[in-house]
């Protein structure tokens, strides 16, 4: 039983490091593309659609990071 718990804790810690790495990557990408992501006045439909699509993709990145963090929280509760 103790071995299984140690393995579970090790897996959890590894997953936590991976989530932190993903969060750093997402933040770096957001800073890198901050200029493109800032909303502008609509000049013509093409640019606003492109911006909206990029914003949606960033929401998906945020959602993926949030979900992985959420699952880690649930795992942590089970381990403690």
pLDDT tens readout for residues 1-29: 678 888 888 888 888 888 888 888 888 87
Question: For position 30, what pLDDT does the model report?
Answer: 76
Count structural domains, the chain.
1
Task: State the residue range of the domain holding 11.
Answer: 2-79
Structure tokens at 15: 């997953």
21: nearest Cα among 56, 65, 51, 62? 65
- Flag whether the pTM goes above 0.85: no
Residue 35 has pLDDT above 60, yes or no: yes
pLDDT of 46 higher than 80 = no
CA 39 to chain centroid, in Å, comes to 21
Contacts of 68 (CB under 8 A, 6+ apart): 15, 18, 19, 22
* Higher per-residue confidence, 6 vs 37: 6
CA distances to 10, 22, 53, 71, 72 from 67, in Å: 20, 12, 21, 6, 9
């Amino acid at each position: 039983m103790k071995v299984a718990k140690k393995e579970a804790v090790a897996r959890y810690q590894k997953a936590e490091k991976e989530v932190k790495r993903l969060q750093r990557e997402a933040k770096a990408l957001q800073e890198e593309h901050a200029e493109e992501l800032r909303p502008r006045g609509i000049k013509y439909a093409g640019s606003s659609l492109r911006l909206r699509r990029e914003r949606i993709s960033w929401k998906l990145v945020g959602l993926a990071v949030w979900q992985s963090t959420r699952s880690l929280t649930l795992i942590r509760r089970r381990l403690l």
